């Protein structure tokens, strides 16, 4: 058997070639990868968790955890005592401020959380290591090793060893396993190495965020979302056609958020979908600065109190990279485009897909022959499509609708005053309906998700 290396841009065991080996390799120690590794280790499997960075390391994110994400933390058994909790979502737009509690349903806890990604990711990675996963930091996977030539199944990965500053040392390492999990985010180099390109027929979002010292906002009991970003017009930069002559303001594209982190800081950011006419044509960081400049002085959000650079990231949505399993490689989280098109949320789906992937891998590796093992692994795509495919299809339609500015303005103007309607929409957009039975709105969401095509 001949191995081929396909390039995309201390182990406890070795194989006869001297390479480090395991039952499963997980590439990327974000929420999806660490969750996968933790469950695999608890199933008694030897798992390598490879992370290119060094903890603690930051990721661009709103840091908000809805009850769906909290449920996954409870499933996994991660201690969350002392974490910042929130009661629901506050929505600002069209002259309205609407405060909605998280739905009271049996399937999900009645609270959300806020946890900085720099802390959350390290917590989950260390949790996986404590359960038996072999966590290797500063290990940057750059290539896939494939059996039987360039088109064969994956049998391992090659990685560069990085120094503490994130620079390649020149040393490389080889790891081998019969199953590899891609949890390396939107760019997913290992997926590209295996020929998994992104689908262009799926929505894509972009988000930028930073942190401000804001004692008056840091202990907010609600996540806050702004559906409209009105700012004073710049006579030199803003076209006259965009200005409201009555207020001398313009409406910036996108939506904004303020999430108090409980440590004197507030995470402030904004997002935009590629269905918006302004996508890719504006300076998102400048939009964030202009919006923040309109905030009340008592919030103390300014360049003087900003504690981190404004950073951006892409949000891959609705299974935008497929197949989710083929040739020994499973995709979890952002690597498989598992961001919710309704609200840009991804942590919960990363952890959920990691839990499901680990269960299927454990079942597959318990089979006695390759054919049965492959049949079980191939079920991963079917299971994930059954869990989320119809819902993501509904979200794709939603993303297309709100990409039209006139539709969004009408929705804000006439929808926000209707509190009962907004409660239902919160349940739908955060995917917090009861999966079986429940109220009328729960059953309606179940039916719509079932009949929507899961492509």
- Residue in the block written with tokens 């406890």: 12
Report whether 354 contacts 49 (CB < 8 A): no
The answer, yes or no, to whether the previous bond of 56 is cis (omega within 30 of 0) is yes
Mean pLDDT for the chain?
Answer: 92
Residue 146: is its pLDDT beyond 50? yes
Compute the distance between CA of residue 345 and CA of residue 181 in angstroms, rounded to an integer. 21
Domain match, 170 and 309 both: no
- Kindly state the percentage of the chain with pLDDT values over 90: 77
Where a domain ends, among 314, 341, 376? 314
Q: Which long-range contacts (CB under 8 A, 24 or more apart) does 10-13 make?
A: 10/136, 11/48, 11/134, 11/175, 12/46, 12/134, 13/46
- Residue in the block written with tokens 């299971």: 383
Where a domain ends, among 367, 382, 399? 399
- Kindly state the percentage of the chain with pLDDT values over 70: 95
Q: Is residue 82 part of a domain?
A: no
- Sheet architecture: strand order including 20-21: 3-7, 139-147, 154-162, 168-176, 20-21
- What mean pLDDT is predicted for residues 58-81? 96
For residue 351, what is the domain's CATH number? 3.50.50.60
Q: Is residue 409 part of a domain?
A: no
Domain match, 326 and 394 both: yes
Which of 30-44, 123-137, 245-259 shows the lowest mean pLDDT across its residues? 245-259
- What mean pLDDT is predicted for residues 142-157? 91
What pLDDT does residue 15 have?
A: 56
Domain match, 241 and 324 both: no
Domain match, 211 and 185 both: no
Number of domains in the chain: 2
What pLDDT does residue 413 have?
A: 87
Q: Is residue 416 part of a domain?
A: no
Q: What is the DSSP string of 92-112?
A: EETTEEEEEEPP--TTS-S-E
Q: Is residue 22 part of a domain?
A: yes
- What mean pLDDT is predicted for residues 307-334? 97
Q: What is the pLDDT of residues 409-445, one digit of tens each?
A: 888 888 889 999 999 999 999 999 988 877 888 888 8
What pLDDT does residue 9 have?
A: 39
Residue 440, both tokens: 């009328």
Instruction: With 0.85 as the threshold, say if the pTM is over it.
Output: yes
What pLDDT does residue 3 have?
A: 63
Q: What is the pLDDT of residues 209-226, one digit of tens each?
A: 999 999 999 999 999 999
Compute the distance between CA of residue 412 and CA of residue 414 in angstroms, rounded to an integer. 6
Q: What is the pLDDT of residues 14-52, one digit of tens each?
A: 555 556 999 999 999 999 999 999 999 999 999 999 999
Domain match, 227 and 137 both: no
Q: Is residue 35 part of a domain?
A: yes
Q: What is the pLDDT of residues 358-388, one digit of tens each?
A: 999 999 999 989 999 999 999 999 999 999 9
Q: Which domain holds residue 240?
A: 204-314
What pLDDT does residue 64 have?
A: 96
Domain match, 213 and 292 both: yes
DSSP label at residue 262 = S
Where a domain ends, among 368, 399, 430? 399
* Residues whose CB is less than 8 angstroms from the CB of residue 422 and which lie 6 or more positions away in sequence, other chains included: 91, 98, 100, 415, 416
Residue 277: is its pLDDT beyond 90? no
Domain match, 261 and 380 both: no
Q: Is residue 256 part of a domain?
A: yes
**Sign of the C-alpha dihedral, residues 428, 429, 433, 435?**
positive
Torsion of CA 156, 160, 163, 167, to 10 degrees: -140
Report whether 266 contacts 218 (CB < 8 A): yes
Compute the distance between CA of residue 242 and CA of residue 123 in angstroms, rounded to an integer. 46
Domain match, 210 and 169 both: no
Q: Is residue 95 part of a domain?
A: no
Domain match, 309 and 256 both: yes
Domain match, 187 and 40 both: yes
Q: Is residue 432 part of a domain?
A: no
Residue 8: is its pLDDT beyond 50? no
First to last CA, the chain: 36
Domain match, 251 and 330 both: no
Domain match, 268 and 366 both: no
- What mean pLDDT is predicted for residues 320-341? 97
- Residue in the block written with tokens 């620079």: 167
Pairing of strands 47-50, 96-101: unpaired
What pLDDT does residue 291 have?
A: 95
């Amino acid at each position: 058997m001949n191995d081929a290396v396909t390039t995309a841009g201390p182990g406890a065991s070795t194989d006869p070639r001297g390479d480090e080996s395991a039952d499963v390799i997980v590439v990327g120690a974000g929420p999806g990868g660490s969750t996968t590794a933790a469950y695999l280790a608890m199933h008694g499997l030897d798992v390598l968790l490879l992370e290119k960075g060094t903890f603690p390391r930051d990721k661009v994110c709103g840091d908000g955890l809805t009850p769906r994400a909290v449920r996954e933390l409870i499933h996994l058994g991660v201690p969350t005592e002392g974490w910042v909790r929130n009661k629901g979502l506050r929505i600002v737009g069209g002259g309205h401020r609407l405060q909605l509690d998280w739905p009271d349903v049996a399937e999900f806890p009645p609270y959300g959380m806020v946890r900085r990604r720099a802390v959350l990711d390290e917590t989950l990675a260390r949790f996986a290591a404590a359960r038996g996963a072999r966590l290797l930091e500063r290990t940057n996977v750059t290539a896939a090793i494939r059996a039987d030539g360039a088109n064969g199944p994956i049998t391992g990965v090659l990685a560069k060893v990085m120094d503490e500053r994130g620079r390649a040392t020149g040393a490389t390492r080889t790891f081998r396993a019969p199953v590899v999990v891609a949890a390396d985010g939107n760019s997913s180099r290992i997926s590209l190495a295996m020929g998994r390109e992104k689908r262009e027929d799926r929505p894509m979002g972009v988000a930028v965020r930073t942190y401000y010292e804001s004692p008056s906002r840091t202990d907010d009991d609600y996540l806050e979302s702004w559906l409209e970003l009105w700012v004073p017009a710049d006579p030199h930069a803003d076209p006259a056609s965009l200005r409201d002559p009555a207020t001398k303001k313009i409406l910036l594209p996108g939506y904004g958020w303020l999430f108090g982190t409980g440590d004197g800081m507030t995470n402030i950011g904004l997002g935009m979908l590629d269905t918006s006419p302004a996508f890719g044509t504006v300076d998102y960081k400048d939009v964030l600065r202009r919006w923040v400049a309109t905030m009340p002085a008592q919030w103390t959000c300014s360049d003087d109190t900003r504690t981190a650079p404004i950073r951006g990231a892409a949000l891959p949505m609705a299974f935008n990279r497929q197949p989710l399993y083929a040739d020994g490689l499973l995709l979890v989280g952002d690597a498989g485009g598992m961001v919710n098109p309704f609200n840009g949320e991804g942590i919960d789906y990363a952890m959920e897909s990691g839990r499901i992937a680990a269960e299927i891998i454990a079942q597959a590796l318990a089979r006695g022959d390759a054919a049965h093992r492959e049949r079980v692994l191939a079920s991963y795509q079917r299971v994930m499509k059954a869990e989320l495919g119809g819902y993501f299809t509904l979200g794709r339609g939603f993303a297309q609708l709100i990409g039209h500015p006139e539709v969004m303005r009408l929705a804000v103007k006439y929808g926000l005053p209707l509190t009962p309607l907004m409660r239902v929409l919160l349940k739908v957009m955060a995917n917090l309906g009861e999966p079986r039975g429940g109220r009328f709105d729960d059953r309606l969401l179940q039916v719509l998700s079932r009949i929507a095509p899961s492509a």
